[in-house]
């Protein structure tokens, strides 16, 4: 539940869908397609309504949330000279790009898979503008500049006008504030239309529940034709229940270079979506030796912090930390067993390269209402099913937990581990929440 980035294509599609409601004095063609390979692009060109792919010069670029595509040389706009990219050339270029991994200047590394293709729009630098809106502190801020493209980022302070719009500002006051702050260097003949576009842009950003919306550049052509050359957008996905019809079935891709979720992570995410409780799992290093099964969002963070600290202080590194995640909100015994099974399975797949013991941290703060004995029953069932594998990897288990019924939970898990011949140390609220990490890693 947070702000989620969407593809440029989806952002433009939303503009197009709402254009008449917000930007009625302006025109927008929405000539964009999203494809994953060259063949798909060629097929698209045969569809009705997409004839322009064959008729116009094209621009192609990856649509995978990252910016600075120009600087990364990932915008195809010329073959021999600007504005001569044919359909065939674009398809070929896309196929080249998806054939090999790409490393960005930022260090992000991965294989390109989504591309947006649009007509090449001849225009002059004077026709480019910059506009964006986001929330800063408690207020919305609208940013406008007479200069678009890469120039705006150099010399931001001099070139960009900011309009702070408090949440309770009326539309009349907002319009007044925008008008008063239109950049002085916008040519007189474009001032009025830029102003009305900026006002509509803010209303669109606000009503569509964007968390961030940037067009850079927006190009104002003859006859109030607008070209959205580059767009970056994040939605507030908590508003999803209000916006279901308006947004449609929008996709939230993971950041470029982020490993696609493993089947285990997907299974946990799937279980999470079906449960009233919270189950989260991120694998940080499948070869790591310290695995965690921590109850509660805040506690999972302090355990991760503490493992990093003690690993580094004891000759290890952050790579020792294998996973991050949490279970909370009163999961059922079955859900807990599934979660424990997943983690035990992952941690017993690879022998530790240095031959060190594997460590399983079953941690948690003092629960508000989760029944500790009940959740531990699920973990115990998982131990019973996986004891041999765990012993094979010299798994040492450290438990710390408090909350409803914790005495029984701790007693049960200790008994079960002893019975199964597993190494275990068990602590309650009298021991500091993260002290088991010190105990485990200082040895």
Partner 1 sequence: MNKLYTKDTQAIFWNNNKTAIQRMLDYDYTIKRETPSVAAIVAPTSGNKFEKFFYGPDEIMVPLFKTTAAAKKAYPNADVLLNFASFRTAYDVTMEAVALGGFKSIMVTAEGIPERLARKMNNTARNAGVTVIGPATVGAIAPGAFKIANIGGTIENIVQSKLHRSGSCGLVTRSGGLFNELSNIIAINADGIAEGVAIGGDRFVGSVFIDNMLRMEKNPDVKYMVLLGEVGGTEEYKIIDAIKAGQITKPVIAWCIGTIAKHFSSGVQFGHAGASANADAETAASKNKAMAEAGIYVPSSFNDLPATINKLYAELRANETISEIPEPDMSLVPKVRRSKEFICTISDDRGDEATYAGFPISSVATPDTGKGIGDVVSLLWFKKQYPKWATDFIETVMKTVADHGPAVSGAHNAKVTARAGKSVVEALVTGLLTIGPRFGGAIDGAAKYFKHADDNGMDPKAFLKYMKGEGVPIPGIGHRIKSLKNPDLRVTGLMKYASENFPATPLLDYARTVEALTTSKKENLILNVDGTIGILMVDMWRALGYEESEIDEFIESGTLNAFFIVGRSIGFIGHILDEKRLAMPMYRHPMDDILYDVPVAEKI
Q: Among residues 368, 384, 411, 419, which is the contact residue for partner 1, using CB under 8 A?
A: 368
Minimum distance between the CB of residue 108 and partner 1, rounded to whole angstroms?
A: 8
Is 297 an interacting residue with respect to partner 1 (CB under 8 A)?
A: yes
The string of DSSP letters for 273-319 reads HHSSSEEEEEES-TT-SEEE--BSHHHHHHHHHHHHHHHHHTT--GG
Residue closer to partner 1, measured from CB, 41 or 211: 211
Cβ atoms of 360 and 302 closer than 8 Å: no
Q: Among residues 253, 324, 332, 333, which is the contact residue for partner 1, using CB under 8 A?
A: 324
Residue closer to partner 1, measured from CB, 236 or 272: 236
For tokens 């006002």, the residue is 199
Residue closer to partner 1, measured from CB, 185 or 305: 305
Is 141 an interacting residue with respect to partner 1 (CB under 8 A)?
A: no
Rounded to a whole number of angstroms, the CA Rg of the chain reads 27
Residue closer to partner 1, measured from CB, 3 or 37: 3
Residue closer to partner 1, measured from CB, 99 or 313: 313
Which residues ranging from 156 to 195 are in contact with partner 1 (CB under 8 A)?
Answer: 166-168
Is 282 an interacting residue with respect to partner 1 (CB under 8 A)?
A: yes
Residue closer to partner 1, measured from CB, 75 or 318: 318
Please give the Cα distance from 323 to 328 (Å, whole number): 16
Give me the long-range contacts of 424-429 (CB less than 8 A, separation at least 24): 424/396, 424/397, 424/398, 424/399, 425/396, 425/397, 425/398, 425/399, 426/399, 426/400, 427/398, 427/399, 427/400, 428/400, 428/401, 428/402, 429/366, 429/402
**Distances from the Cα of 409 to the Cαs of 372, 405, 417, 420, in angstroms?**
6, 6, 12, 17
Q: Among residues 164, 258, 270, 392, which is the contact residue for partner 1, using CB under 8 A?
A: 258
Minimum distance between the CB of residue 370 and partner 1, rounded to whole angstroms?
A: 9
**Distances from the Cα of 116 to the Cαs of 11, 14, 216, in angstroms?**
12, 15, 16
Is 432 an interacting residue with respect to partner 1 (CB under 8 A)?
A: yes
Cβ atoms of 441 and 416 closer than 8 Å: no
Minimum distance between the CB of residue 404 and partner 1, rounded to whole angstroms?
A: 5
Residue closer to partner 1, measured from CB, 147 or 326: 326
Cβ atoms of 279 and 339 closer than 8 Å: yes
Q: Among residues 295, 322, 416, 424, which is the contact residue for partner 1, using CB under 8 A?
A: 295
Q: Among residues 121, 127, 145, 300, which is the contact residue for partner 1, using CB under 8 A?
A: 300
Note the residues at the interface with partner 1 (CB under 8 A). Answer: 1-3, 107-108, 135, 138, 166-168, 206, 209, 211, 236, 238-239, 241-242, 254-255, 258, 282, 284, 295-302, 304-310, 318, 321, 324, 328, 364-369, 402-404, 429-430, 432-435, 437-438
């Amino acid at each position: 539940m947070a702000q989620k980035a969407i593809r440029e294509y989806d952002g433009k599609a939303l503009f197009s869908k709402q254009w008449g409601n917000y930007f009625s004095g302006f025109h927008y063609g929405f000539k964009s397609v999203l494809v994953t390979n060259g063949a798909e692009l060629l097929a698209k060109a045969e569809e009705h309504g997409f004839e322009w792919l064959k008729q116009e010069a094209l621009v192609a670029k990856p649509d995978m949330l990252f910016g600075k595509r120009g600087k990364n040389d990932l915008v195809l706009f010329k073959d021999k000279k600007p504005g001569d990219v044919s359909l065939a050339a674009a398809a070929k270029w896309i196929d080249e790009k998806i054939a090999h991994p790409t490393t960005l200047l930022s260090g992000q590394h991965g294989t390109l898979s989504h591309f947006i293709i649009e007509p090449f729009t001849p225009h002059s630098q004077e026709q480019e503008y910059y506009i964006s809106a986001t929330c800063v502190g408690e207020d919305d801020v609208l940013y406008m500049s007479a200069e678009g493209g890469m120039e705006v980022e150099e010399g931001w302070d001099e070139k960009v006008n900011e309009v702070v719009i408090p949440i309770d500002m009326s539309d009349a006051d907002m319009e007044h504030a925008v008008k008063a702050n239109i950049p002085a260097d916008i040519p007189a003949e474009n001032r009025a239309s830029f102003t009305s576009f900026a006002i509509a842009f803010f209303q669109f950003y606000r009503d569509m529940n964007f968390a961030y919306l940037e067009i850079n550049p927006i190009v104002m052509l003859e006859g109030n034709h607008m070209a959205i050359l580059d767009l970056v957008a994040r939605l507030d996905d908590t508003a999803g229940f209000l916006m279901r019809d308006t947004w449609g079935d929008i996709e939230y891709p993971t950041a470029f270079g982020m490993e696609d979720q493993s089947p285990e992570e997907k299974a946990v995410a799937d279980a999470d979506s079906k449960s009233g409780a919270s189950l989260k799992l991120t694998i940080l290093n499948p070869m790591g030796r310290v695995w965690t099964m921590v109850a509660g969002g805040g506690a999972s963070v302090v355990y991760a912090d503490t493992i990093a600290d003690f690993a580094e202080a004891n000759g290890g590194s952050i790579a020792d930390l294998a996973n991050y995640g949490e279970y909370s909100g009163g999961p059922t015994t079955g859900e807990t067993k599934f979660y424990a099974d997943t983690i035990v399975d992952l941690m017993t797949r690879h022998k530790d390269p240095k031959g060190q013991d594997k460590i399983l941290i079953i941690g948690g703060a003092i629960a508000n209402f989760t029944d500790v004995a009940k959740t531990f029953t699920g973990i115990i069932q998982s131990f019973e099913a996986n004891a041999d594998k765990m012993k094979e990897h010299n798994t040492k288990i450290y438990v710390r937990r408090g909350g409803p019924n914790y005495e029984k939970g701790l007693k049960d898990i200790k008994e079960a581990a002893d019975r199964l011949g597993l190494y275990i140390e068990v602590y309650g609220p009298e021991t500091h929440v993260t002290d088991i990490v010190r105990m485990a890693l200082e040895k």
